Amino acid sequence: MSGLVSPLRHLLTRYLVLSLLLLSGCSAIEEAVDSATKQVEQNVLTGLPGSNRQILAVKIDDTNPAQPQVGVESADVVYIEQVEAGLTRLLALYSSQYPIRIGPVRSARISDIDILAEYGRVGLIFSGAQSRLYPFIDAANIANLGAQRNPATVYVRDPLRNAPTNMFVYPEKLLEVDKNAESIDLVKKPGWEFGDNPGTGIEIESATVRWPNATYRVDWSRDEDRWLIYFNGKPKTNPDGYQFGSPNFVIQVVPIVPSDFGDRYGGVTPKSEVVGSGKGYLLRDGFAIEVKWQRDSLEAPTRWQLADGSSAPFERGQIWIALTATEPSFEFTEATAGGEQK
């Protein structure tokens, strides 16, 4: 009997050692996974995995002839702003990724300067500007990457499209050839925060934002978990037919006032006043959440707050911000009874 004790004790010892090694190995694997997860870079504008590279802003035509637009789906943030004749243009911000081609690229406006000031030194990509606007661009904290200073191999005319909606830019090539690109800041943390739905919104099917000569509608897609975007009654898509959409669609109600600038046809350029405070709506998860926006100076970030003064939590993902002077209209779901989100 005593002869069996030693082998049994040896086997038991080996079992205990292997068990401890296995347990410690699982712990080590879990620690390695946690460490790797923490090391994944997240883009500060979207909250999603992605780089935080130099921040570029591209001015994109937003008329009917400009459709379909190229590269908008890759933007981190997209502003919709009013221009002459009540039309709209996009100001798309890129930092996590630069698509191969973006456009159609159009000219800068006075509103762009104030919109971009909160993001640091941004590289502005645009087709040109009226001569009186250039001194304002030069005086602003903006790196001028305009077409007027770059070759036709970077700003390319598409022969299949008609002017003036046929200019496209290759951003990676632009960063290589334009010396002004060296001064562009890396993207910095914006004024919004990410978090769970606060539960203070009203469930809606869609929202419509109108300018004098442009209309946007967003419909909530439960299947895709994002707002699908329609422009002037048609799906807004890229050339491959992919419909633009976002988990966040922000409606920022701002004063839109006449500026000292205008177009060649005598139209006065409107200016969106984005410094100050006002109301807005954060659309996420199929709900419209009333918010307050506040920006104390040009360089200060725009803060978004709920009615109780706490930060309005955005959903992670691309963000569209519609700058409008009018209240949006909402189409409510059958389950909505005029109360707060349940």
Helices (H), the chain: 2-39, 110-116, 134-139, 171-177
The residue assigned the tokens 């700003």 is: 155
> What would the pLDDT profile of 308-335 be if each residue is shown by its tens digit?
999 999 999 999 999 999 999 999 987 6
Q: Mean per-residue pLDDT for 175-194?
A: 97
Q: Which amino acid appears at position 63 of this protein?
A: T
Confidence of residue 104 (pLDDT cuts 50, 70, 90): very high
CA 129 – CA 86 distance, rounded (Å)? 19
Report pLDDT for 1.
44
> What would the pLDDT profile of 277-286 be if each residue is shown by its tens digit?
999 999 999 9
> What would the pLDDT profile of 40-61 be if each residue is shown by its tens digit?
899 999 999 999 999 999 999 9
What is the pTM (predicted TM-score) of this model? 0.88
Q: Which two tokens stand for residue 152?
A: 């036709």
Is the per-residue pLDDT at 23 higher than 70?
A: no
Q: Mean per-residue pLDDT for 101-129?
A: 98
> What would the pLDDT profile of 234-269 be if each residue is shown by its tens digit?
999 999 999 999 999 999 999 999 999 988 788 899
All domains in the chain, ordered by first residue = 40-342 (3.50.90.10)
Nearest to 61 by CA among 84, 34, 39, 95: 84
CA 96 – CA 73 distance, rounded (Å)? 12
